[in-house]
Amino acid sequence: MWFKNVHLYRLHNMAAMSREDLADALCDFVHRPVSSTEARRLGWYPPAGRHGQQLVHEIQGHRLLTALRQEHILPASVIREEVEERAAEREAAEGHPLPRRERQEIKEQVIEEFLPRAFTRTQRIDIWWDTDRALIAVNAASRTRAEDVLDLLRQSLGSLQVTPLAVRHLPSRTMTNWVHQPKIRPAWLRIGEKAVLEDSHGDDGKWSASGIDIDAGDTQSVLAPGRQVTRLQIEIDERVTAMLHDDLTLKSIRFADALLDEASQVEDDDDPTLRLETDFALMTGALRECIEQLVDGLGGEVDPAAPTT
């Protein structure tokens, strides 16, 4: 269950809630399989999967929640072809082009008919809730998926005030400075071999590279003034490697071998719940410290309403 991606949110004005009360609130929105007439469905699921029943695991103030998102897969090309075929038949019969509204009605009818025959895709989305620091991290591939599961949590609790974690210095500007000026990099930071840059004036588009030496002369020549680093692979304190994005998202997270070895050496008696909680405790311990270092390196946290520099 080691997180691959992290979208960070600051929790505001949240009254203390016990693990039991939180679990009770989630019960009303528990996962059930998507029906043949639904396009998608999102609900809470035991983090330990079929081996567990708990909807909330808590280790020293760190809570783990899991949502399952199921959706029917209807390829756009299949829908488009069927709509075009039916529309052509109607137009031939009626002798005139169909209005846009009627084409939309045909599309809705096709989707409704095809849903029961569609394949189902299931995605797991995990939430790490640090109750001591009022911080929520969502392990989702996209910001949209993260917001979806936060909406589910908001429904479950009745209210939820969260904002994306904000820092004083723009991540893109700071990453650009780190790339150009090795001497100002924090002691805990090591630049990796992947980067994405975009022209601030929109003239040269996007430049991305993998397996490069950022500090090499030929690489630095590409990193000309006017290009901003929007994604940068970084290693924090030799514990966590990730792609830092300009919205403070961490993706493609990898944990140090030493940490994974430590997890594997813990005796769990083949108990999946104990294994889950052991991994979760080690992961959150490493991520919490790395996130604190990263936020500090980006000038510290700031009120989301305040300007960044």
Least confident of 59-68, 88-97, 128-137, 195-204: 195-204
Look at the block and give the residue holding tokens 């071999």: 193
Least confident of 14-23, 98-107, 185-194, 298-307: 298-307
Name which of 110, 69, 54, 66 is nearest 87 in CA terms: 110
pLDDT at 41 over 80: yes
pLDDT at 221 over 70: no
Read off the tokens for 111: 């989707």
User: Per DSSP, which regions of 152-220 are E strands?
Assistant: 161-164, 189-199, 206-210
Q: Which amino acid is it at 218?
A: D
Q: What is the biggest distance separating any 2 CA atoms in the chain, rounded to whole angstroms?
A: 75
Q: What percent of the chain has pLDDT over 70?
A: 93
pLDDT for the residue numbered 257: 95
Q: Higher pLDDT residue, 239 or 91?
A: 239
pLDDT in tens, 66-85: 999 998 777 788 888 888 88
How confident is residue 113, by pLDDT bands cut at 50, 70 and 90?
A: confident
How confident is residue 290, by pLDDT bands cut at 50, 70 and 90?
A: very high
Give kind and range of the element (H or E) at residue 108: helix 100-114
pLDDT for the residue numbered 203: 55
Query: What average pLDDT score do residues 167-195 get?
Result: 93
Cα–Cα dist 244/232, whole Å: 5
CA 129 to chain centre: 14
Query: What average pLDDT score do residues 153-170 get?
Result: 95
Torsion sign (Cα): 152, 157, 159, 163: negative
pLDDT for the residue numbered 222: 66
The SS3 assignment for 60 reads coil
- Helix, strand, coil content of the chain in percent (nearest 5): 40, 30, 35
pLDDT for the residue numbered 242: 97
pLDDT for the residue numbered 224: 62
Q: Which amino acid is it at 80?
A: R
CA within 13 Å, CB half, 96: 3
CB–CB of 7/140 below 8 Å? yes
Least confident of 28-42, 167-181, 193-207, 273-287: 193-207
Query: What average pLDDT score do residues 290-298 get?
Result: 97
Cα–Cα dist 202/222, whole Å: 16
- Return mean pLDDT, the chain: 89
Look at the block and give the residue holding tokens 């980006």: 298
pLDDT for the residue numbered 219: 67
CB within 8 Å of 15: residues ≥ 6 apart = none
pLDDT for the residue numbered 225: 63
Cβ-count burial 22-61 (b if 16+ within 10 Å, e if not): bbebbeebebeebeeeeeebbbbbbbbeeeeeebbbbeee
Query: What average pLDDT score do residues 246-267 get?
Result: 94
CB–CB of 45/124 below 8 Å? yes
CB–CB of 67/43 below 8 Å? yes
pLDDT at 226 over 80: no
Read off the tokens for 127: 């939430």
Name which of 54, 59, 50 is nearest 24 in CA terms: 54
pLDDT at 121 over 90: no
pLDDT for the residue numbered 61: 95
How confident is residue 1, by pLDDT bands cut at 50, 70 and 90?
A: confident
Name which of 64, 74, 70 is nearest 32 in CA terms: 70
pLDDT at 117 over 60: yes
pLDDT for the residue numbered 305: 53
